[in-house]
Amino acid sequence: MMAVLDNFMASYGNLVNLCLLNTLLAYGVWLALSANMFTLGTGGFMAAGAYCSVFLTMQVGVPFAFAVLAGGVLAAAIALVIGAPVLKLRGDYFMLATFAFTEVVRVIALNWDAVTGGAIGIYGIPRHTETWQLVVLVLIAIYFVFALRRSYFGRSIAAIRQDDVMSQAMGVNVFAQRLSLFIASGFVSGGVGGLAAHMNFFIGPSDFGLIRSVDALAYPILGGVNALLGPLVGAIFTTILPELLRFSSQWREILMGLLILAVVLFLPGGAMSLLRFRPRPRAAKPAGTAVRQGAE
């Protein structure tokens, strides 16, 4: 059994690690989505955490775990600073504001050569991220979301998602709860950025742009925001799908887009809604009908 597992990891280890990493990111984005915050700031938070952790490990000599934690804390602090004004916006304006934040961080990374390496990026990052670490962190994230959903805080967030005006009238501090979730989402995204940096040996400004934020937003939406395992399913599906479509390099992006569009159109509750699908039972015939048919 161990030999089979070793051979599997030797062939698909990088893909497994990427699935686990994207799952962590999906649960971080889920924290924001749970309160109807469609954020495109994930790429900016990841960049802050990645460059912070790499600088601490390569230039200062800080242990890997503390460097990743520091990257998450930095991203959370940034989320606190920008969250106060940004959370006053709604809908498209909030999304545009978080997108602008990601672009600002990307431009800073592109021009701050002394710390980020500029457009060339940073090479030779020591590989510290291991599969068992990602598995443990994913299990912790799932348990945290499970506990959060069952808590009073989670129920108040569910009420905010349904109707924030009514929740405010019932005494729920909507702004404070949204800000706390935005900070928590930034912390997770920053930590994932640090883990990704120490898994890929290289980081550059292009790794943390709009596409990264859109991908991260798609994970929980495709899997199902209302399901506990929805972010996990969406992250794995979106990560593995491009590998399954390698047989058609020209049609790969088109096929991937069509499949995702099909999920959005026909499964608005996400892929996890398939598990809740039940065929509609056929109506039973009245007893008198059967008697009459037998008499005939």
CA 72, distance to chain mean position in Å, is 15
Tens digit of each residue's pLDDT (9 = 90 or more) over 84-98 = 889 888 878 899 999
The HSE-up count of residue 208 (CA atoms within 13 Å, CB side) is 37
Whole-number pLDDT of residue 165: 77
> Across the 296 residues of the chain, what is the mean pLDDT of every consecutive 10-residue run?
70 86 94 90 94 93 94 96 88 89 92 88 91 94 93 86 80 88 95 93 88 89 87 89 71 71 76 62 52 48
From the number of C-beta atoms within 10 Å of its C-beta (0-12, 13-18, 19+), residue 31 rates as buried
The two structure tokens encoding residue 203: 């980081």
CA 91, distance to chain mean position in Å, is 19
Q: What is the pTM of this model?
A: 0.86
Taking the C-alpha atoms of residue 43 and residue 102, their distance in angstroms, rounded to an integer, is 6
* Cross-strand bridge partners of residue 203: 122
Whole-number pLDDT of residue 136: 95
Q: Which amino acid is at 159?
A: A
The HSE-up count of residue 104 (CA atoms within 13 Å, CB side) is 11
Whole-number pLDDT of residue 184: 95
- C-beta separation of 71 from 52 below 8 A: yes
What 8-state DSSP symbol labels residue 271? G
- C-beta separation of 213 from 99 below 8 A: yes
Whole-number pLDDT of residue 282: 55
Q: Which amino acid is at 165?
A: V
